[in-house]
Amino acid sequence: MKLSAESQKESSDNNVILSISEQIKKLEQRLLDPNANNKIPFKVSARTAKLIGLENFSNEEGAIIELVKNTYDADAKNCILVFDIKHTTSVNEKGEEVKLFNSAESRIFVIDNGVGMTDSVISNQWMTIGTDDKLYQHLSENGRVKTGAKGIGRFALNRLGLITDLITLSNKDGEGLKWKVDWKDFDKFGATVSEVEAELTNIENPSLKEFLIDKFSNSQRLLDLINATSFESGTVIEISELNDTWEIEQLEKLFGNLEMLLPPKEQSDFEINLLSINNIDLFGKVKTAYYDDYDYNGEDWLKLGERQSKSPGGAGQRLGGYRIRPNQMAGTIKISRIYNSSFQDKSGREGIIENDVFELFRNILLEIVSFFEKDRNVIMFHLSELYDKKDNEAKAIRLAQEVA
């Protein structure tokens, strides 16, 4: 009892000493800077930081695409998306058997063979919200123009699920690391962002390929893909307690968006595969939409449909009245982050900020479209006139023959 009392007294004394020490430091600061007592730091609640990140990913497809772009920025040659969606069976009021989404058992995996991350990169960049690394370092180690610049991409993980486990193997030191975060910690009452912590541990004798082979031992198609891919370095992200059900329609939509994401030029040095454990043969390698049959299902950002509805006449009806429909043309516009710096991505990567530069650019494109419209209009108008003339002559001949 006496020893315990002495220990408590010693602990209390230490707290008093620390408190006095902090007060002395504050007093010294005020003496050195008379205005110090007028300066107070900002604090950001953990929940606010989380909401700022989540608001930039309005849908699940955008969050996945953000993570795919991160693998590209990491100089990966291969990105593999695996959806392992689980269901439980239940009986409804009518006695019918129904399938229910099982969030706790479902998983999404984002796998790449990029450069991986070191302890320093995780601590100083990955764990820093709004980091400006990609803002000033436009090129990756292998010369790719980086796609990200906002520094909030890790919140895409939270948009997809509540728990994230990440395993990474760096190409610099060969060190394996495991990073884990529970995004629910950001919702704790009164917590500031600096009080939320993630777990970071070392992995002995790391091998991404062995880890993946063990993880997907029940899927031969995945095993074939993993064995055919080099994993000297890279990152594996496992997302659990999913927020979305990922029905087959959602996966088909995502697959289509990934096709549009991949430019023809990048097809040779960056490969994306999407696989669903439940429908293992339905998806696979993502090929650029350049090779697909044309179908119009994108956003009419040039507002061609609006123009055409105001002047719906055909190409040969009258001069100056022809407007092309949005499904009557196709093209590609290449924008460089380095050479076209006035174009800024929206934070959620769902388009370009529609500023004055964007409006000017759109008007230039519409003038180009207008040039082709006029060219076609003139040709078709005169062809229509010629047809009408010949048709009238043919009618006159037929009428004369009938009278005769």
Residues 6 or more apart from 130 whose CB is under 8 A from it?
Answer: 150, 151, 152
Give the separation between CA 115 and CA 117, rounded to whole angstroms.
7
How open is the CA angle 350-247-348, to the nearest 5 degrees? 15
On the question of pLDDT at 224 being above 90, the answer is yes
Residues 35-76: pLDDT tens digits? 655 677 777 788 887 777 677 777 898 889 989 989 998 999
Looking at the DSSP bridge assignments, the partners of residue 255 are: none
Which is more confident, 349 or 369?
A: 369
To the nearest whole number, what is the mean pLDDT of the chain?
80
Percent of the chain with pLDDT over 90: 29
Which is more confident, 217 or 49?
A: 217
Residues 6 or more apart from 190 whose CB is under 8 A from it?
Answer: 45
Q: Which of 301, 272, 283 is nearest to 359 (CA)?
A: 301
Q: Which of 76, 60, 29 is nearest to 231 (CA)?
A: 76
Which is more confident, 297 or 305?
A: 305
Give the separation between CA 26 and CA 390, rounded to whole angstroms.
98
Domain map (residue ranges) of the chain = 2-38, 48-88+98-291, 304-401
Least confident of 85-89, 254-258, 266-270: 266-270
Structure confidence at residue 290 (pLDDT): 55
Burial class from Cβ neighbours inside 10 Å (0-12, 13-18, 19+) for residue 290 reads middle
On the question of pLDDT at 281 being above 70, the answer is yes
Least confident of 128-142, 151-165, 237-251, 373-387: 128-142
Give the separation between CA 190 and CA 49, rounded to whole angstroms.
13
Which is more confident, 327 or 274?
A: 274
Region label for 241, one of left (φ > 0), alpha (ψ between -120 and 50) or beta (otherwise): left
Six token digits for residue 61 = 């497809």
Residues 6 or more apart from 49 whose CB is under 8 A from it?
Answer: 129, 186, 193
Q: What b-and-e string marks burial along 162-191, b requiring 16 or more CB atoms within 10 Å of the CB?
A: bbbbbbbbbbeeeebbebebebeebeeeee
Mean pLDDT of 178-196: 89
Least confident of 42-51, 257-266, 306-315, 384-393: 257-266
On the question of pLDDT at 7 being above 50, the answer is no
Six token digits for residue 323 = 């407007």
Which is more confident, 22 or 220?
A: 220
CA distances (Å), 197 to each of 79, 182, 200, 284, in order? Answer: 28, 9, 9, 36
Report the chain's terminal Cα–Cα distance, integer Å.
135
Least confident of 189-193, 222-226, 253-257, 400-404: 400-404
**Residue 274's pLDDT band (cuts 50, 70, 90):** very high
On the question of pLDDT at 297 being above 60, the answer is no
φ/ψ of 402, rounded to 5, equals: -65, -40
Q: Which of 95-99, 298-302, 313-317 has the highest mean pLDDT?
A: 95-99
* C-alpha dihedral (153, 154, 158, 164), degrees to nearest 10: 150
- Which superfamily does 48-88+98-291 belong to? Histidine kinase-like ATPase, C-terminal domain (3.30.565.10)
Asked whether the beta carbons of 176 and 169 are under 8 A apart, the reply is: yes
